[in-house]
Amino acid sequence: MGDFGWVIVGVLGLWIGTEVAVRAGAEIGRRLGLSEMFLGLTVFAIGTDLSELLVAIEGATRLRGGAEASGIVVGNALGSVLAQGAMVLGVITLFDRSVPTASVAAERDPLWDASAWLAAVALLGIAAIDGEISRIEGAALCVAYLAYLGILIRMSHAVEKLRAKSSPIRFLLPIGAVVVGLVVVAFSADLAVEHGLGLATRYELDPTAIGLFGIGVGTSLPELAVSIGAAARGRPALSLGNVIGSNTFDLLVPMGAGALIHPLTVERNSLYFDLPAITILAIYFAFRLATRGHLDTRDALGLFGFYVTFALFRLGTFVG
């Protein structure tokens, strides 16, 4: 099997392993009595982003060995955010017709979480503006996410709910499933990065292009699956929380963790095109929530059009 085939196998493995881990993690959250919005922002978001994190760690490790994998690490994270912020959000809007609905607003103010997404874009932009994310900057990105996560946990009273559960044996099976899912994700990340680099070398492709539109889109499949499933079952809070939480995580943790292992190079085109495109999506989402309180079918079509237009333009920059 050639490099392309192994990349496909790796992406499928990332999807399957993530599905196993995130569903088990969600079961733990449900048994603790946590809200759907909180589960979407944390358990599902972190779970569906394990693939992006493991790809970043694997890529950064290969950087230490001399391989030029920065493009795959950066492209994968940014490509995931673009796909989630446009395509996945557009899909769940079509399913629900009005995202977020009143049931979402009843749990918490989604505008606050949209602002966190926008703040994450700003922090990453500051860290990468000189074309490199250093170890110190990587640590700062990870700390920023941990602070955000801590605020979410405090607001949801998750610790108190955990202490109230006196039967930890009830969690052994889902915890075991999480571990199995993580092992599959780690193995699949190694396949995707190794053979993605092989494709780049063999066909003289830009590693960023592979990360942005190959691995990045592929690692967004778990978010798509979870969000569609939640929206189809009438659980918009879980669906929306997954998208917003995933975007915030992807902007801070994968590149932050990768930079801790080895400083990452950020290409000029990623600064000039990818980050601004993500910023436009975040601002648009926050603006629509502030002015109308929801997205509708027209917004979904606009998001699809934005992504397709950007993808065609961006692919042209690699060819040109």
Q: Which pLDDT tens digit goes with each residue over 71-84?
A: 888 988 998 899 88
pLDDT at 55: 83
pLDDT at 194: 72
Give me the chain's average pLDDT, please: 80
pLDDT above 70 coverage of the chain, percent: 80
- How confident is residue 319, by pLDDT bands cut at 50, 70 and 90? confident
pLDDT at 68: 79
pLDDT at 104: 54
Q: What is the arithmetic mean of pLDDT over 45-65?
A: 84
Instruction: Tell me if the bond preceding 207 is cis, omega within 30° of 0.
Output: no
Q: Which pLDDT tens digit goes with each residue over 178-222?
A: 778 767 776 776 677 677 767 766 766 777 777 777 777 776 777
Q: Which pLDDT tens digit goes with each residue over 84-130?
A: 889 888 888 887 655 565 445 545 566 787 889 999 999 999 999 99
pLDDT at 102: 46
Q: Which pLDDT tens digit goes with each residue over 263-301?
A: 999 999 999 999 999 999 999 988 887 787 778 888 889
Q: With contact defined as beta carbons under 8 Å apart, do 79 and 217 qualify?
A: yes
pLDDT at 65: 80
β-pairing verdict for 132-133 and 264-265: antiparallel
Q: Which pLDDT tens digit goes with each residue over 152-188?
A: 888 777 667 666 665 666 667 877 887 787 677 767 7
Nearby residues of 274 by Cβ (< 8 Å), 6 or more positions away: 78, 82, 212, 314
User: In which domain, by residue range, is 193 found?
Assistant: 3-319
Q: What is the arithmetic mean of pLDDT over 232-242?
A: 72
CATH assignment at residue 132: 1.20.1420.30
Query: Residue 134's closest CA among 274, 272, 258, 273?
Result: 258
Total structural domains in the chain? Answer: 1
